[in-house]
Chain A
């Protein structure tokens, strides 16, 4: 089946630093990747849509200069949280789609804690 990986699985950083999260589709070419964040006991909130070779499309209320997304290849997208602050602490999850199916496959998530 389709496998999506994320790295790192968890990260703790100091306030003001930047953190990069990688999302890879391991056995298929992802034409589109999505980035979500999830707070405890809440549902997934879409942050941005990322298409290979083009600029990401951000959802309303998501700061594009704060959350930098790069989709350099059909198997890799990265999310960089710049100048992270404690309120950015959350569970970040990527997903990917590819081929004719609309099925979307998720990575295992990255737990970010900003001290």
Chain B
């Protein structure tokens, strides 16, 4: 069955360091992958979308890589700040017009000052 795995354990890092979050998937062939930020009691906020034919995408302090051979995406936050503390979700979408996404369980990031 389809499976998306994100680090279930919280990631604790020091302010200023680079946070790297992992999203692995099996039994799935995504056309694109999206990363979201979710704060407690709030809906997810869209961050980045990367397509299967793209290796890397950047947006300000964020960088996403997508390796379809390894079936893995890495999400980096450089120069992390305490305000970056949140749960980060990866979601995969297929090459179709339904737009349906399958979500990972999320990784909680805690940036300490």
Contacts and interface: CB of A to CB of B under 8 A. Distances in A.
Interface of A: 2, 4, 6, 32, 34, 42-44, 46, 49, 91, 93, 95, 97, 101-109, 111
Nearest to B36: A106
Given A93-B44, A104-B91, 5 more contacts: A43-B105, A46-B100, A49-B98, A102-B93, A106-B36
- Which one of B43, B49, B101 has the greatest number of beta carbons of chain A within 10 Å? B43
B53 to A, nearest CB: 13
A103 B44 contact: no
Judged by DSSP, the binding face of A is strand
B103 interface: yes
27 contacts: A34-B100, A34-B101, A42-B105, A43-B89, A43-B104, A43-B105, A44-B44, A46-B102, A49-B98, A49-B99, A93-B44, A95-B43, A95-B44, A97-B99, A102-B31, A102-B32, A103-B46, A104-B91, A104-B99, A105-B46, A106-B36, A106-B43, A106-B45, A107-B43, A108-B42, A108-B43, A111-B41
B110 interface: no
A6 B44 CA distance: 13
A1 to B, nearest CB: 8
Contact of B43 (A42, A103, A109): A109
Interface string B5-49: 000000000000000000000000001101010000111111001
Contacts, number: 57
A55 to B, nearest CB: 14
Interface of B: 31-32, 34, 36, 41-46, 49, 89, 91, 93, 98-106
Contacts of B34: 102-104
Contacts of B36: 106
Nearest to A98: B99
B42 to A, nearest CB: 6
Nearest to A42: B105
B101 A46 contact: yes
Contacts of B49: 101-103
A102 B99 contact: yes
A3 to B, nearest CB: 11
